[in-house]
Amino acid sequence: MLIQSFSHNAAIHASMHFSFCTCFVKHNGSVLLWEFDDHLIVISAQDGNELSQLTIRDFSITSSVVLKSLDKFAIYAEDLVESQIEHLIINSNDSKSFPVPSGIGMIGVADTNTIRDVVMWEIKGTGIQIGYGSEIRISGGRIIGAGIRFDASIGIHCTGNNGGVHIENTDIIALGTGILIANSSGVGSNREIFISHATIDSNGRGLVIRDNSYVSIIGIWAASSTIDQVFIDENTTAVLSISGGTIFNGGVYECPKVSDWCNGLTVRSGKFILNGVEVRNNNGRGIWIPNKSVTQYHIIACRIFANGQGLNVTGSSFMITNNICNSNQLPNAISGTETSIVLNNLGC
């Protein structure tokens, strides 16, 4: 079913509400002007059931005329499943006066949905918000914030109880928090998050984990954020696996609190494996583990160099093996070695 079709380069001013399933929305190069303080496109079922097999693609959304509340989304979808949103541009014609508040919200059930090649510019709220369910894929595209780094903006927010979330080749840049994985909605911890070759760059914090998820990262690029590039908060049982890539440039824009900011990887709870990663040029610590409760982690075959301090770690039952440390300003501080293995490192 084709719900709406507009002529090429038309400017559409109205709000839209879709209450259908098995639908296709294609605007063929049109521009939707977002000129009011509310969600622009609302997708929901009047009977409270899930909506499925919806495709939205090939148009632009431009914020204009009025300043909008940060919790208003360009596309707000309730209980959306088995659907695709692709090839969109979400921007503003005056980012100072009428910035984009939030991009795509998948509220309630979010299951087997794909967001592909969607570009968002100067987001002030949340780029993509993910509800509970499974198999959410975010592929390509860009989520760009306003470059403030200390505002409330979030690139991708997994709000709880979703698994099989894949983030692939997506730029997540210049936000308060790049990716937030947390039980924000109270429906339980997220389950499995897979991040491959995404760019997490120039945020306040890059990747933040605040629940008990398993998070797998291949080819990490976490760089130039002010507080931490990758951060696991306290009181989690998170399991983080990072293989390949680089964590670098912490605090390159500013470093007002070098005592606990401007770090590469900071882990306050949970467990992790860091394998074959370049940890470099962070003004704070390259790898910081301040809590003894962090156990059973493994740092293997990494190059840790040109940081304020390479390693400042504690814990128990950990392994630090076959790494190279060089040109860090302060010597490493490693404690908790009574139950651990620190072996075959060069300069560490």
CATH (domain of 57): 2.160.20
Reduce the DSSP state of residue 79 to 3 states and report it: strand
108 within a domain of the structure (yes/no): yes
87 within a domain of the structure (yes/no): yes
User: Could you identify the residue written with the tokens 């070759």?
Assistant: 197
The predicted pLDDT at position 10 comes to 40
Of residues 207, 278, 208, the one with CA closest to residue 248: 278
The predicted pLDDT at position 1 comes to 23
Alpha carbons 181 and 179: distance in angstroms, whole number: 7
Q: Long-range CB contacts (< 8 A, 24+ apart) of 252-256?
A: 252/224, 252/281, 252/283, 253/149, 253/202, 253/224, 253/226, 254/226, 255/226, 255/283, 255/284
| Domain span including residue 310 | 11-343
86 within a domain of the structure (yes/no): yes
User: Could you identify the residue written with the tokens 């976490």?
Assistant: 222
3 within a domain of the structure (yes/no): no
Residues 6+ apart with CB under 8 A from 85: 55, 56, 57, 75, 104, 113, 114, 115, 116, 118
Other CB atoms within 10 A of residue 37 CB? 12
119 within a domain of the structure (yes/no): yes
Alpha carbons 15 and 246: distance in angstroms, whole number: 43
| Count of structural domains, the chain | 1
220 within a domain of the structure (yes/no): yes
The predicted pLDDT at position 29 comes to 57
Alpha carbons 260 and 182: distance in angstroms, whole number: 22
4 within a domain of the structure (yes/no): no
348 within a domain of the structure (yes/no): no
- Average pLDDT, 10 consecutive residues per value, the chain (348 residues): 33 46 51 94 87 94 96 97 97 96 98 99 98 98 97 98 98 99 97 99 99 99 99 98 99 95 99 99 99 98 99 99 99 98 97
Q: Are 104 and 118 in contact (CB under 8 A)?
A: yes
**Would you state the structure tokens that stand for residue 287, as one six-digit string?**
């790898």
Sign of CA dihedral 279, 284, 285, 290: negative
